[in-house]
Structure 1
């Protein structure tokens, strides 16, 4: 059976499903996410940046969250503060992540599809992210997406690498419309 993938900007109605997927992928559950966001934090992030989701048959199987520096500066997230102390980025930069793909959908290109959507929505802006230094699948995936390491830091006795990228400017400057993809 062919599964139809939709990559789109999340709405307020998607917050609970994002949190459910986030919870299932915490380190305490055997996943690799380094922290969790509350519904309020995700809604706040939605207020000024696109939050990208991947769905299959209307079920959220991936998300890519982003935070503007303005929203980030309103709250204290110690691991993000440690990243920012290691590499501040450009004045208009934003924080990429977390990104998460459900266990059964990994390795199928969903992270790349969500990233491509984000690049179209946020042209000519630097994105900054951190990845745990021993998370080789994530490091390889992000390097394949064209991101490059700019620094590293230690947080709670764990090593993290800081990566960055710059979204290319679109030639036609037209809004991007998501299209269904087929697995």
Structure 2
């Protein structure tokens, strides 16, 4: 297993993993274990890689088994749900800061293949992405659909994200969470992976 910043040759692998767990294409029996809400095109992932350096992946024998997306609010602003979040940023405070598009970024979606859940890979890839993004932004922000209880538990209990707001969009209720990117996540020795540069 190794961690890396994705390059263009990884897009097919990321899309294959994404499609398995995206809300529109996930198998019904897998929904209870968590899902990804946002759909992505090859062009959007190309932009995420080339302009944002914000696609972090874990590979096992050349197969993408996990990813974390992280990018500026400008990148995300083409989706209506993120426009709503951007509009509300000045009303939020976290880690002693009033949030804005310069001091925070949108983390997620994150996806871990079912075969690797519970292995510590979530914590490992989160920490890898956090460390890279911490040089650019002091605060990570994300949202979780209230019905996605597995994702909520993982992000609050395993990763330590904190709920800072709630909002409604398209007849769904969401929790908004944040994390101070200067805080290293303490990984147990068995969860440490060797990143590839």
Shorter-normalised TM range:
0.7 to 0.9
Aligned-pair CA distance for 1:51:
1.2
Aligned partners of 2:194, 2:81: CA distance in 1, in Å?
Answer: 35
Q: Is the 8 A contact 1:22 1:33 kept in 2?
A: yes
1:119-143 CA distance string (max 9 Å, x none): 2212252111110112111111111
Question: Secondary structure at 2:17's aligned position in 1?
Answer: helix
Q: Is the 8 A contact 1:86 1:153 kept in 2?
A: no
Map of 1:179 onto structure 2: 194
TM-score of the aligned structures, taking structure 2 as reference length: 0.77
Tell me whether 1:126 sits opposite 2:129 in the alignment.
Answer: no
Map of 1:174 onto structure 2: none
Aligned partners of 2:66, 2:14: CA distance in 1, in Å?
Answer: 8
Which 10-residue stretch deviates more, 43-52 or 92-101? Answer: 43-52
Unaligned runs of 5+ in 1: 171-177
Q: Is the 8 A contact 1:86 1:152 kept in 2?
A: no
* Structure 1 segments (4+ residues) deviating >3 Å: 85-88
Alignment of 1:54-69 (within 5 A): 54-69=58-73
TM-score of the aligned structures, taking structure 1 as reference length: 0.83
Which 10-residue stretch deviates more, 24-33 or 153-162? Answer: 24-33
Aligned partners of 1:101, 1:86: CA distance in 2, in Å?
Answer: 29
Q: Is the 8 A contact 1:87 1:150 kept in 2?
A: no
Aligned partners of 2:22, 2:75: CA distance in 1, in Å?
Answer: 23
Aligned partners of 1:71, 1:168: CA distance in 2, in Å?
Answer: 23
Aligned partners of 1:14, 1:140: CA distance in 2, in Å?
Answer: 29
Q: Is the 8 A contact 2:140 2:178 kept in 1?
A: yes
Unaligned runs of 5+ in 2: 91-98, 185-192
Tell me whether 1:117 sits opposite 2:113 in the alignment.
Answer: no
Figure out how many residues of one structure are paired with residues of the other and give that number: 167
Q: CA RMSD in A?
A: 1.9
Aligned partners of 2:68, 2:175: CA distance in 1, in Å?
Answer: 18
